[in-house]
């Protein structure tokens, strides 16, 4: 499952909630961070995860995929002669070419995600997982990220790179194996970007969005009559609890505006929409994200 969305919508939080929900169902789940973000280690109050599959909870493992380490692993799997591998890694020309090749880091990252999803892993003593969840790049890079294998397959007409790229492209486009979820906020710009992202994923990448998670929805605490009365109290000079009434009015208006945007999101997109509540916490830990896990499982 590939999870993407506009930056700042809670994509990493929802990815972790999905992973926790799957793990609690008994699925052996691995959650992948790309570009070595190392956000999840802070949630679990652990040292940096790095390019290792680290068990964080029952049935839940986490890995931070570093493109350079993915490249190294790829070369190790392709070249069986140790002397050739050592020579290649010491070569400055190889290092420069790898860094300068557009999309190569994305390709080896997707390759590592594919390897994690295999029943028969390529790496020694690799675990077999029921579900791989990817905290993918944000909207601006998400489409290009998923297009990378097809781009390489078209450029490299022959050879192992083309073969690998074709395998990864089929993996991404197989609806029985791979799905895409998008995270949004009930606000105008995130809704607009989600609508465009769903369209672009279909037209440019050729994949459908399985589900949209509308994150951070405020509760509706007051009906219309109560909201009107609160507004009257907030307008009274020196009225009792005026500050509290003003805060209540502000939250009520925001909740109403959010639901208008939620209605737009549901109207303008084809994928089913699941709502997740706003958590009034200064910092989200495992307990708070576990509460979201019950919502993403609906």
pLDDT, one tens digit for every residue, the chain (298 residues): 999 998 889 999 999 999 999 999 999 999 999 865 666 667 776 767 788 899 988 999 999 988 878 877 777 776 665 666 566 566 665 565 556 566 778 888 999 999 999 998 888 888 999 999 999 988 778 888 999 988 888 877 767 778 888 999 999 999 999 999 999 999 999 999 999 999 999 999 999 999 999 999 999 999 888 988 888 888 876 666 788 888 899 999 999 999 999 999 999 999 999 999 999 888 888 888 888 888 786 6
The Cα–Cα gap between 20 and 39 comes to 16
Distance CA 55, CA 185 (A): 30
Residue 157: CB atoms within 10 A of its CB come to 8
Q: Where are the alpha helices (DSSP H) in the chain?
A: 11-24, 40-43, 67-78, 82-90, 92-100, 104-117, 139-155, 160-173, 188-200, 224-235, 242-268, 286-296
Whole-angstrom distance, CA of residue 252 vs CA of residue 219: 8
Q: Are 71 and 174 in contact (CB under 8 A)?
A: no
Rounded to 5°, angle at Cα 64 from 156 and 200: 55
Count, residues in the chain: 298
State the pTM of this model.
0.87
DSSP 93: H
CB-CB contact of 129 with 59 (8 Å): no
User: Using CA of residue 297, residue 118, residue 39, residue 187, what is the dihedral sign?
Assistant: negative
pLDDT at site 59: 95
Let me know if 106 is exposed, middle or buried by CB neighbors in 10 A (0-12, 13-18, 19+).
buried
| Nearest CA among 148, 107, 115 for reference residue 30 | 115
Confirm if 230 and 248 have CB atoms less than 8 A apart: yes
Q: Taking the domain 2-219+271-296, which CATH number applies?
A: 3.40.50.300
Q: What are the two backbone dihedrals, phi and then psi, of residue 214, each rounded to the nearest 5 degrees? A: -90, 105
Q: Using CA atoms, how far apart are residues 150 and 103, in angstroms rounded to an integer?
A: 11
pLDDT, residue 68, reads 79
Q: How far is the C-alpha of 131 from the C-alpha of 74, rounded, in Å? A: 22
The pLDDT value given to residue 96? 59
């Amino acid at each position: 499952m590939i999870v993407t969305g506009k930056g700042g919508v809670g994509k990493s939080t929802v990815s972790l909630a999905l992973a926790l929900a799957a793990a609690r169902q008994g699925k052996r789940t691995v959650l992948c961070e790309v570009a070595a973000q190392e956000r999840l280690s802070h949630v679990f109050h652990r040292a940096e995860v790095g390019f290792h599959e680290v068990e964080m909870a029952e049935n839940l493992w986490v890995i931070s995929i570093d493109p350079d380490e993915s490249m190294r692993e790829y070369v190790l799997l392709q070249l069986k002669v140790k002397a050739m591998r050592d020579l290649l890694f010491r070569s400055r020309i190889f290092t420069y070419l790898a860094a300068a090749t557009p999309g190569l880091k994305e390709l080896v990252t997707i390759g590592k995600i594919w390897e994690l999803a295999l029943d028969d892993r390529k790496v020694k003593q690799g675990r077999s997982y029921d579900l791989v969840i990817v905290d993918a790049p944000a909207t601006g890079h998400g489409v290009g990220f998923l297009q990378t294998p097809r781009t390489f397959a078209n450029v490299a007409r022959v050879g192992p790179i083309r073969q690998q790229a074709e395998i990864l492209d089929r993996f991404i486009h197989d609806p029985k194996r791979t799905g895409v979820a998008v995270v949004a906020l009930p606000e105008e710009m995130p809704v607009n970007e989600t609508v465009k992202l769903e369209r672009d994923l279909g037209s440019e990448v050729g994949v459908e969005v399985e589900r949209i998670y509308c994150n951070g929805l405020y509760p509706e605490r007051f009906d219309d009559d109560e909201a009107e009365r609160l507004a009257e109290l907030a307008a009274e000079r020196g009225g009792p609890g005026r500050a509290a009434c003003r805060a209540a009015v502000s939250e009520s208006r925001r909740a109403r505006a959010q639901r208008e945007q939620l209605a737009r999101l549901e109207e303008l997109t084809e994928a089913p929409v699941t709502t997740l509540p706003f958590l009034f916490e200064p910092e989200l830990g495992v307990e708070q994200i576990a509460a979201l896990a019950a919502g993403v499982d609906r």
